[in-house]
Structure 1
Amino acid sequence: MTQYFTEERSAEAVNGCMGETTDPRIREVMACLVKHLHAFAKEINLTQAEWQVGIDFLTKTGQICSGERQEFILLSDTLGFSMLVDAINNRRPPGATENTVFGPFHVDGAPIRSMGDTISLDGKGESCLYQGRVIDLDGRPVEGARIDVWSDNADGFYDVQQPEFQPKWNNRGIFATGADGSYSFIGIKPVSYPIPDDGPVGQMLNRLGRHPYRPAHMHYLVTAAGFQKLVTHTFVGDDPYLGSDTVFGVKTSLIAPFEPATNGRTQWQSTFDFVLTPG
């Protein structure tokens, strides 16, 4: 039966046009998207001028994207949508280390280093010993866990943002746990930094009265046979932006201790255990 378009039944008219052979999951996703998009416009009585602003915003967001910059991911992050999708897809049992956003600055192929090695290559920043264990939910050590780590430098930039200034693989490395599941490496105490805010997303944050800063954190990607992949950060506990992370990535369980070091090698030390969930 033909479903003519009316304001009252606009979503039904659009969704009624889908073909009978449409993939069931695509049908479900698109029907729900159309339903909520139309409900949004009706709820706020969206004007044509406002929708044109929205179209212009999305157009400029696409135009600024490049091989090095993904403004749509930035938009998803700052709307909290990336964290919501991450939470839905990484529900974990009590006691397991929580996931958080992957971020745009991971690079495949970082060098494999020996336990205790230094990942900071530019000589900047306050040195920090990172240590702990990778264990399962029962506290047993996980041997052969692969720990991929990366962070910004003391100026708040990742090496890929400053290839002409920073050494390649600065503040990056991959480590593998032994039989006791322990890990250790020397990096720097990370600093807070702003996300790129010179584009449409930055303009949006400004109009909303929001800052562009992320609290200081160290990135981890932990993988091990038989366990779920863990993508997470540890956050510096006294950072002023912990309660207002512009991408909403902070979780209480991921705030780690950063204490004055007693090892005679570094200025700081941070101990954190990663608890993996069976795959």
Structure 2
Amino acid sequence: MQNINEDTITQAVLASMAGCRDERLRRIMTSLVQYLHLFARDVELTEDEWFKAIQFLTDVGHITDDKRQEFILLSDTLGLSTLVTSQNNKKPPACTEATVFGPFFVEDAPEYDCGDDIANGAQGETCFVQGRVVGLDGSPIAGALLDVWQSDEDGFYDVQAQLQPGEAPQYRARAKLRSGPDGRFHFRSILAEAYPIPHDGPVGRMLAATGRHPWRPAHLHFMIQAPRYETLITHVFRNGDKYLDSDVVFGVRSTLIADWNRHEAGIAPDGTRMERPFYTLDYDFILNPAAATQ
């Protein structure tokens, strides 16, 4: 009978997985066990600290629901999401860079035509967004599917709204659009503003305990899909935001920073007469061909 102690426990756990037929799973679990045990030895983890860690993860699970993904927030704030995104999205330098997905995407966003107002009542200053979706050679990508989503001026996404029993969700500042024959897209929305991630739960307590703020710089989310091209998940960040260098989820890339230009009242890009100042954003996306077509 093997004597299990602090010196033999790691090898005992690894040996117990010898029958795992999934080579990738065995590699992942082997490394996970080795590093977890190394971590516990390195910091000389106490039983009280271990219990608090279990309680923390339990709390993360309890607060997670169909509107709030605390595990994604945890991954984001520990930099793991950005690390995994970077490892898996190596592209030619000319391509638009990917960044973190975030916890507020929804599959069934409403479909709009180019030029529509996707704000749908979301509060914020008016902003007109336009750009092109192109390939590495600059050729337009027609019919690309763009998922777009953002928070309102108070920093809340539509899916964070508290609904009454039986009340259907009202999607705001969220849309699916298609690029035109020339690869162009354009829509009306609201100005992107900085906002704090949800920090009234265990992840927020972790941030406070480690002396970190919960803020994200102003940004607009995009997911772009087109046949024969790799899917792009990214943000466009608002130039000048004070949180660009301290994004709580480490998602900023210098190539993804763009100017939101302010205009006085007058004629908007879509020909609308605006009685108040408005903003414009112009940003092109360059997609990487899928591996089979390169």
- TM-score above 0.5: yes
3-state DSSP class of the match of 1:198? coil
SS in 1 for 2:236: strand
204, 211, 214: which one aligns with 1:212: 214
After TM superposition, the structure 1 = structure 2 runs for residues 91-106 of structure 1, keeping only pairs within 5 Å, are 91-106=90-105
Q: Which amino acid aligns with 1:91?
A: K
Mapped to 2, the partners of 1:139 and 1:5 lie a distance apart of 62
Residues paired across the two proteins, number: 278
Distance in 2, Cα, partners of 1:174 & 1:56: 39
Residue of structure 2 in register with 1:139 after alignment: 138
Question: Quick check: 1:3–1:16 contact (8 Å CA) kept in 2?
Answer: no
TM-score (norm 2): 0.89
Q: 1:182/1:261 Cα in 2 relative to 1: closer, same or farther (>3 Å)?
A: farther
105 and 21 in structure 1: CA distance in 2 versus 1, 3 angstrom threshold: closer
Question: Would you say the 8 A contact 2:149–2:220 is kept in 1?
Answer: yes
Alpha-carbon distance between aligned partners in 1 of 2:284 and 2:34, rounded to the nearest angstrom: 44
2:181 and 2:58 mapped to 1: Cα distance? 52
Could you say which residue in structure 2 is the equivalent of 1:275? 286
- Give the direction of change, closer, same or farther, for the CA distance of 1:261–1:94 in structure 2 (3 Å limit): same
SS of the counterpart of 1:16? helix
Q: What are the superposed Cα offsets for residues 48-67 of structure 1, whole Å, 9 maximum, x if unpaired? A: 22212212211222222223
Q: Which runs of 5+ in 2 are unaligned?
A: 269-273
Query: Cα deviation per residue 1:200-232 (whole Å; 9 max; x = unaligned)?
Result: 111110000101111111111100010000111
CA contact (8 A) 1:137 1:276 kept: yes
How far the C-alpha of 1:198 sits from its partner, in A, is: 1.1
SS in 1 for 2:84: helix
Give 1:8-87 correspondences, 5 Å limit.
8-87=7-86
Q: What amino acid is aligned across from residue 40 of structure 1 in structure 2?
A: F
Task: State the partner residue of 2:153.
Answer: 154
Deviations 1:159-198 (A, max 9, x none): 1112559982211122111221111111111111111111
Report what 2:175 is aligned to.
173
240-249 or 13-22, which deviates more: 13-22
CA contact (8 A) 1:3 1:12 kept: no
TM-score (norm 1): 0.93
Measure, in 2, the Cα distance between the counterparts of 1:15 and 1:175.
Answer: 49
Report the Cα offset of residue 20 of structure 1: 2.3
- Measured in 2, the distance between the counterparts of 1:123 and 1:170 equals 6
Cα distance, 1:167–1:264 mapped onto 2, change above 3 Å = farther
User: What runs of 5+ residues in structure 1 fail to find an aligned partner?
Assistant: none
Report the Cα distance in structure 2 between the residues aligned to 1:71 and 1:148, rounded to whole angstroms.
Answer: 22
- With 58-67 and 218-227 compared, the bigger mean Cα shift is at 58-67
* Distance change (3 Å), C-alpha of 1:111 and 1:21: closer
Does structure 1 retain, via aligned residues, the 8 Å contact 2:130–2:185?
A: yes
CA spacing shift, 1:264–1:24, aligned 2, 3 Å: same
2:132 partner SS? strand
